[in-house]
Amino acid sequence: MKSRKASFSKNLTGFTLIEVLITLTIIAILMSFVAPYVLNRPDQARELKLKFDFEAIESALVLYKLDRGKYPSQELGFDTLVNGDDGSKYLSKIPQDPWGNNYIYKIDSQNNIEIISLGPDGLLEGLEDDDVSHILN
């Protein structure tokens, strides 16, 4: 029985410290190339959310205009898309931008409709020019 244990322990092989260090170094080098692409994903996700929110709001506004003949006034804004006076609902809820701010509904003097996200700073025309807007076609 002792001879069996002795022969078993002599046949065990493992990785040397040098082999482990070389493997870790190779993994670290590969990660240095991959990390910039992986770490940039949150910005891409925010941009996609903005795009899809703008498209959803624009679709709701177009449906509202088809039913009513005109876009909602600036005073009514997005509230009328969620809680219509006749029970109609064009949006299930008012979306928030990726930074947790409400979108702004604005009609200019030429009756162009603009949907505005306040951006990361949460300020309209703040110190950083990070506001994102979408004008309906």
Q: Where are the domains of the chain?
A: 2-39, 43-135
Which residues touch 77 (CB under 8 Å, ≥6 apart)?
105
Burial class (CB in 10 A: 0-12, 13-18, 19+), 120: middle
Q: pLDDT by residue for the chain (137 residues), tens digit each?
A: 555 555 555 666 788 888 889 899 988 888 887 877 777 788 888 888 999 999 999 999 999 999 999 999 999 888 889 887 777 888 888 889 999 999 999 998 888 999 999 888 888 876 567 788 889 86
Residue 126: the pLDDT is 60
pTM > 0.75: no
The CATH class given to the 43-135 domain equals alpha beta
Residues making up the chain, counted from first to last: 137
- Cα–Cα separations (whole angstroms), residue 75 to 10, 71, 78, 105, 106: 84, 11, 9, 9, 9
Give CA–CA dist 94/48, Å, rounded.
17
Contacts 24+ apart (CB under 8 A), 63-70: 63/90, 64/90
